[in-house]
């Protein structure tokens, strides 16, 4: 699952997958968006499973709440591109055949497009949408929500990178937490983590925070001032 690449992957959204994921409840969208961000960095997502019934190299990212199960079906990274084949929600653990069929069809189209690119050296068809930067900026969050989530994601990602060097028994000592809390950290969801708790874990792991802030999105401020002047 982890690619080991130092280059952020591009995300190619097939069909209506981006619109569907963007319509999920905020908690599910945060959790699944964080797993996509880990994939962009070549790291292992927190909750996934292979989907060999759809095709080789296909896996699903998973989340759920009291209402539904949320799924994002992806093709493993190919030449620094992650293809999101299909996003959907379901009412039980079983994956509906219509969603399996949709993912298979889109996988077929992606592989045909790759074959044409290898043969002709250019793109004869393109995915519906492409994310070239941080995926958390491209899921319909407000600017302030995206800023908070990106900060949490960078912090949580760093914690996971260092925490996975140790056994769960060692982490119980390092973090001064019982086993269920350690398991929740390693396999949990970003929507359930507070910044304060993540900073506490970072300190226990000896991680020094060196943050950098810059005003790169000034159009947000201009829009707010323009709206207030009407």
Give pLDDT tens digits for 61-110. 999 999 999 999 999 999 899 999 999 999 999 999 999 999 999 999 99
Residues 32 and 132 in one domain: yes
For residue 194, being part of any structural domain is answered with: yes
With tokens 């019934």, the residue in question is: 53
Do residues 21 and 89 touch, judged by C-beta distance below 8 A?
A: no
For residue 210, being part of any structural domain is answered with: yes
The total of structural domains in the chain comes to 2
Report yes or no on whether pTM surpasses 0.75.
yes
Residue 38, helix vs strand vs coil: helix
> What token pair was written down for 101?
């069929």
Distance in angstroms (rounded) separating the CA atoms of residues 91 and 84: 21
pLDDT band at 222 (very low <50, low <70, confident <90, very high): confident
Would the pLDDT of 215 be above 80? no
Would the pLDDT of 228 be above 90? no
Q: Residue 171: CA atoms inside 13 Å, Cβ hemisphere, count?
A: 21
Residues 163 and 101 in one domain: no
Task: Write out the residue range of the structural domain in which residue 125 sits.
Answer: 10-137
pLDDT at 122: 63
For residue 172, being part of any structural domain is answered with: yes
Would the pLDDT of 124 be above 60? no
- Average pLDDT score over residue span 37-49: 93
Residues 121 and 191 in one domain: no
Residues 65 and 19 in one domain: yes
Question: What phi, psi does 59 have (nearest 5°)?
Answer: -145, 165
For residue 57, being part of any structural domain is answered with: yes
For residue 2, being part of any structural domain is answered with: no
For residue 173, being part of any structural domain is answered with: yes
Look at residues 85, 111, 137 and tell me which one is the last residue of a structural domain: 137
We report the CATH number of the domain holding residue 85 as 3.30.2310.20
pLDDT tens profile 135-161: 999 999 998 999 999 999 999 999 999
Q: What is the mean pLDDT of the chain?
A: 90
Look at residues 95, 121, 137 and tell me which one is the last residue of a structural domain: 137
Look at residues 76, 109, 137 and tell me which one is the last residue of a structural domain: 137
For residue 4, being part of any structural domain is answered with: no
We report the CATH number of the domain holding residue 171 as 1.10.260.40
Q: Which of 43, 58, 30, 47 is nearest to 149 (CA)?
A: 30
Residues 163 and 107 in one domain: no
pLDDT at 187: 82
Q: Residue 156: CA atoms inside 13 Å, Cβ hemisphere, count?
A: 30
For residue 35, being part of any structural domain is answered with: yes
Residues 129 and 19 in one domain: yes
Which residues have CB under 8 Å from 117's CB, separation 6+? Answer: 123, 124
pLDDT at 192: 86
Residues 156 and 116 in one domain: no
Residues 33 and 104 in one domain: yes
pLDDT at 229: 82
- Cα 108 to Cα 36, 104, 105, 219, distances in angstroms: 22, 6, 5, 40
Distance in angstroms (rounded) separating the CA atoms of residues 188 and 46: 7
Do residues 90 and 73 touch, judged by C-beta distance below 8 A?
A: no
């Amino acid at each position: 699952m982890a690619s080991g690449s130092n280059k952020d992957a591009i995300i190619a959204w097939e069909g209506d997958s981006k619109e569907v994921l963007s319509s999920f409840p905020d908690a599910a969208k945060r959790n699944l968006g964080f797993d996509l961000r880990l994939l962009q960095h070549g790291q292992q997502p927190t909750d996934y499973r292979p989907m060999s019934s759809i095709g080789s190299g296909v896996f699903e990212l998973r989340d759920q709440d009291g209402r539904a199960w949320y799924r994002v079906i992806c093709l493993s990274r190919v030449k620094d591109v992650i293809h999101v084949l299909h996003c959907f929600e379901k009412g039980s653990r079983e994956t509906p055949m219509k969603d399996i069929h949709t993912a298979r069809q889109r996988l077929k189209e992606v592989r045909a497009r790759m074959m044409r690119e290898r043969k002709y050296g250019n793109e004869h068809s393109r995915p519906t949408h492409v994310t070239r930067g941080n995926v958390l900026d491209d899921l319909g969050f407000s600017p302030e929500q995206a800023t908070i989530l990106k900060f949490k994601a960078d912090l949580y990602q760093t914690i996971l990178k260092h925490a996975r060097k140790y056994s769960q028994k060692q982490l119980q000592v390092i973090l001064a937490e019982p086993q269920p809390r350690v398991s929740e950290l390693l396999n949990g969801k970003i929507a359930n983590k507070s910044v304060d708790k993540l900073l506490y874990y970072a300190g226990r792991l000896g991680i020094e925070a060196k943050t950098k802030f810059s005003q790169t999105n000034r159009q947000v401020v201009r829009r707010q001032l323009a709206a207030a002047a009407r």
